[in-house]
Structure 1
Amino acid sequence: MGARVLVIGTISLCLVPGIDSAEAQTASGESEVLPAIEVIAPPTSARPAARPARGTTAPRAARTVRRVYVYPTAPTPTARSGMDVDKVPAAINAVGAGQIARTGSLNVADALQQQVPGIVLSDTTGNPFMPDVQFRGFVASPVSGTPQGLAVYQNGVRINEAFGDTVNWDLIPTAAIRSVTVVTNNPAFGLNALGGAVNVLMKDGFSYQGAEINTMGGSFGRIQSSAQYGKQIDNFSVYGALEGVRDNGYRNFSESAIRRFYGDVGYRTDSSEFHLNVGVAKNNFGAAAAVPVELLQRYWGATYTTPQTTDNRVAYANLTGKVEVTPTWTIEGSARVRAFRQKTVDGNPTETEPCAADPGLLCFNDDDVPANGLNGVQLANPFPADAVLGQIDRTTTRSTTTGATLQATNTDQLFGHNNQFMVGATFDSGVTRFGASAELGTIGSNYVVSGSGIFLGPSGDPISIGPVSLRATNRYTGLYALDTFDVTDAFSISGGGRFNYANIVLQDQIGTDLNGNHTFSRFNPMIGGTYKITPGLTAYAGYSEANRAPTPLELACADPARPCIAAAFLIADPPLKQVVSRTIEAGFRGTQELNIGTLGWKVGAFRATNADDILAIPSPELQGFGYFQNVGRTRRQGIEAQVNLTSKTLQLYASYALVDARFLDALTLTSNSPFADPVTGNIQVLPGNRIPAIPRNRVKVGIDYSITDAFKVGGDALFVGSQYFVGDESNQAARLPGYSVFNLHASYQINKTFQLYGRVDNVLDNRYAVYGTFFERDDIPNFANGGADFTDARSVSPARPRAFYAGLKATF
Structure 2
Amino acid sequence: MGEMFTPKPLSRAIVFALAAGGIPTIGLAQDEPETMQAIEVIGVTPTLGVGLPEDKIPYNVQSADDEDLDRTKSLDITDYMNRNFAGVIVNDAVNNPLQPDIQYRGFTASPLLGLPQGLAVYQNSVRVNEVFGDTINWDLIPESSIANMNLVGGANPLYGLNTLGGAIALETKNGFTHPGHSLEVYGGSYERYVTTVESGGNNGTWGYYTTFQYFDEEGWRDASPSDSLNLFTALSYRDGNTTSLDLNFNYADTDLIGNGAIPIELAQRDRSAIFTSPDQTKNEMFFLDLEGEHWLNDVTQISGNIFYRDNDTNAFNGDGSEYDECDSDPTVLCEEDEPTDPIEDQNGNEIAVDGGNGERNGLQNRSTRDQENYGFSLQTAFFNDLFNRDNQLIIGGGYNAGEVDFMASSEVARLTPQRSTIGSGLFVPEEGTFINSEVESWSLYVTDTLSLTEKLDLTLSARYNHTNVKLNDRGGTDAAGHTVAEPDLNGDHDFDRINPAIGLTYAIRDNLSTYASYSESSRAPTAVELACADEDAPCSLPNGFLADPPLEQVVAKSFEGGFRGSFRNIGMMDVLNWQVGAFHTTNEDDIIFQTTGGVSSNQGFFNNVGDTERVGMELGLNGVVERLNWFMNYSYVSATYEDPFSSNSANNPAADSNGKIQVQPGDHIPGIPEHTFKVGGDFAVTPKLSLGADLLYKSGVYLRGDESNQLGKLDDYVTVDLRGEYQINKMFSVFALVNNVFDEDYESFGLLGEPDEVPGFDNFEDARFVGVGAPRSAYIGARMQF
- Give the TM-score normalised by the residue count of structure 2: 0.93
Cα distance, 1:409 vs structure 2: 0.7
1:621 to 1:247, Cα distance in 2 relative to 1, 3 A: closer
Residue matched to 1:462:
none
CA–CA distance in structure 2, aligned partners of residues 794 and 502 of structure 1 = 38
Per mean C-alpha deviation after superposition, the further-off stretch among 154-163 and 383-392 is 383-392
2:597·2:651 contact (CA, 8 Å) conserved in 1? Answer: no
One-letter amino acid of the structure 1 residue matched with residue 405 of structure 2: R
Instruction: Map 1:400-479 onto structure 2 (within 5 A).
Output: 400-458=372-430, 466-479=431-444
User: 1:611-636 deviations in whole A, cap 9, x for unaligned?
Assistant: 00000101158853111000100000
| TM-superposition CA deviations, 1:304-353 (whole Å, max 9, x none) | 11111010111111011100011000000000000001000111122223
Kindly report the root-mean-square deviation, in angstroms, between the aligned alpha carbons of the 2 structures. 2.2
Shift of 1:375: 3.8
CA distance in structure 2 between the aligned counterparts of 1:382 and 1:586, rounded to whole angstroms? 64
Amino acid at match of 1:383: G
Deviation at 1:674, TM superposition (A): 3.7
Q: Following TM superposition, by how much is the alpha carbon of 1:74 offset from its aligned partner in structure 2, in angstroms? A: 8.5
User: Aligned residue for 1:246?
Assistant: 216
Partner of 2:482: none
Q: 1:792 aligns with which of 766, 774, 782?
A: 766
Residue identity over aligned pairs, in percent, reads: 35
Match of 1:767?
Answer: 745
Alignment of 1:357 with 2:303, yes or no, is: no
2:690 maps to which residue?
712
C-alpha displacement of 1:647: 5.2
Structure 2 counterpart of 1:137, from 84, 106, 125? 106
Which residue number corresponds to residue 718 of structure 2? 740
1:607 aligns with 2:602: no
Are the structure 2 counterparts of residues 482 and 777 from structure 1 closer, same or farther at C-alpha, using a change threshold of 3 Å? same
User: What does 1:537-548 correspond to in 2, within 5 Å?
Assistant: 537-548=512-523
C-alpha distance 797-7 of structure 1, shift in aligned 2 (>3 A): farther
Taking structure 1 as reference, are residues 747 and 38 closer, same or farther at Cα in structure 2, changes over 3 Å only?
closer
**Structure 1 gap segments, 5+ residues each:** 12-31, 40-65, 459-465
Question: How much does 1:381 deviate?
Answer: 4.5
Displacement of 1:720: 0.3
Report the 3-state secondary structure (helix = DSSP H, G, I; strand = E; otherwise coil) of the residue aligned with 1:34.
strand
User: Which whole-Å CA distance do the structure 1 matches of 2:733 and 2:202 have between them?
Assistant: 25
Preserved contact between residue 388 and residue 780 of structure 1 (Cα < 8 Å): no
Structure (1 or 2) with the larger CA radius of gyration = 1
Amino acid at match of 1:76: T
Which residue is equivalent to 1:508?
473
- 2:451 alignment counterpart: 486
What one-letter code is carried by the residue in structure 2 that aligns with 1:728?
A: D
CA distance in 2, matches of 1:523, 1:755: 53
CA distance in 1, matches of 2:209, 2:706: 49
1:350-749 equivalence runs, <5 A: 350-365=321-336, 366-383=338-355, 387=359, 389-458=361-430, 466-510=431-475, 511-594=486-569, 596-619=573-596, 624-646=602-624, 649-749=627-727
CA positional deviation for 1:433 = 0.3
CA distance in 2, matches of 1:38, 1:596: 18
Q: CA deviation at 1:355?
A: 2.7
Distance in 1 separating the partners of 2:748 and 2:237: 46
Corresponding residue to 1:273 among 237, 244, 248: 244
Q: Secondary structure at the match of 1:778?
A: helix
Counterpart position of 2:185:
215
Contact 1:746 1:759 in 2 (8 A): yes
**Match of 2:197, as an amino acid?**
A
Q: What's the CA shift for 1:568?
A: 1.9
Q: CA 1:36/1:295 → structure 2, altered by over 3 Å: closer, same or farther?
A: closer
Change (3 A) 1:470 1:285: same
8 Å CA contact retained: 1:744, 1:761: yes
Q: 1:122 aligned to 2:87?
A: no
Amino acid at match of 1:478: S
Separation (CA, whole Å) in 1 of partners of 2:556 and 2:384: 33
Q: Which residue of 1 aligns with 2:775?
A: 801
Deviation at 1:358, TM superposition (A): 2.9
Per-residue CA shift, 1:506-558, capped at 9, x if unaligned?
Answer: 00000331100000010000000110101000100000000000000000000
Query: Matches of 2:350 and 2:426 in 1, distance apart?
Result: 12
2:228 counterpart residue number: 258
In 2, are the aligned partners of 1:765 and 1:802 still within 8 Å (CA)? yes
The whole-number CA distance in structure 2 between the counterparts of 1:480 and 1:648 is 46
Q: Distance in 2 between matches of 1:381 and 1:114?
A: 49
Shift of 1:234: 2.0
Note the alpha carbon deviations across 1:686-713, whole angstroms, 9 max, x for none: 1001110000000000011101100111
1:621/1:311 Cα in 2 relative to 1: closer, same or farther (>3 Å)?
closer
Q: CA 1:620/1:239 → structure 2, altered by over 3 Å: closer, same or farther?
A: closer
**Judging changes above 3 Å, is the alpha-carbon distance between structure 1 residues 807 and 37 closer, same or farther for their aligned structure 2 residues?**
closer
What one-letter code is carried by the residue in structure 2 that aligns with 1:34?
G
C-alpha deviation, 1:596, in angstroms: 3.6
1:34 aligns with one of 27, 38, 47:
27
**Structure 1 residue 354: Cα displacement:** 3.3
Q: In structure 2, what is the equivalent of residue 234 of structure 1?
A: 204
Instruction: Output the CA distance in 1 between the equivalents of 2:8 and 2:438.
Output: 40
Q: What is the CA deviation profile of residues 741-761 of structure 1, one whole-angstrom value per residue up to 9, with x for unaligned ones?
A: 001111110001111111111
Query: Structure 1 residue 648: deviation in Å?
Result: 5.8
Give the counterpart letter for 2:466 in structure 1.
Answer: Y
Provide the rounded CA distance (Å) in 1 between the counterparts of 2:394 and 2:31: 20
CA distance in 1, matches of 2:330, 2:753: 27
Check whether the contact 1:36–1:67 (CA below 8 A) recurs between aligned residues: no
CA–CA distance in structure 1, aligned partners of residues 460 and 238 of structure 2: 32
**Aligned in 2, Cα 1:422/1:281: closer, same or farther, shift over 3 Å?**
same
Q: How far did 1:101 drift? A: 1.4
In structure 1, what is the Cα distance between the partners aligned to 2:147 and 2:38?
Answer: 14
Matched residue type, 1:766 = E
Aligned partner of 2:732 in structure 1 is: 754
Alignment partner for residue 267 of structure 2, among 276, 296, 301?
A: 296
Report whether the alignment pairs 1:167 with 2:136: yes
Corresponding residue of 2:151: 182
Q: Contact conserved, 1:77 with 1:157, CA < 8 A, in 2?
A: no
- Please say if 1:102 is aligned against 2:71: yes
CA contact (8 A) 2:703 2:749 kept: yes
Q: Can you list the C-alpha shifts for 1:583-625, whole angstroms capped at 9, x where unaligned?
A: 0000001101115411100000000000000001011588531
The 1:714–1:36 alpha-carbon spacing in structure 2 relative to 1, beyond 3 Å, is: closer
- Distance in 2, matches of 1:38 and 1:10, equals 19
Go from structure 1 to structure 2 and tell me whether the alpha carbon gap of 1:161 and 1:382 turns closer, same or farther (over 3 Å shift).
same
1-structure distance, mates of 2:342, 2:133: 32
CA drift of 1:386 comes to 6.6
* Secondary structure, counterpart of 2:730 in structure 1: coil
Mapped contact 2:218–2:226 kept (Cα < 8 A): yes
User: What secondary structure sits across from 1:295 in the alignment?
Assistant: helix
2:171 paired with 1:201: yes
Distance 2:590 2:50 in 1: 33
Q: CA deviation at 1:114?
A: 2.0
Note the C-alpha offset of 1:676. Answer: 2.8
Matches within 5 A, 1:300-315: 300-315=271-286
The more displaced of 367-376 and 148-157 is 367-376
Letter in 1 for 2:772: P
Please give the secondary structure, in 1, of the residue aligned with 2:756. Answer: coil
SS of residue in 2 equivalent to 1:170 = helix
Deviation at 1:75, TM superposition (A): 4.2
Offset of residue 227 of structure 1: 1.1
Give 2:120's aligned residue: 151
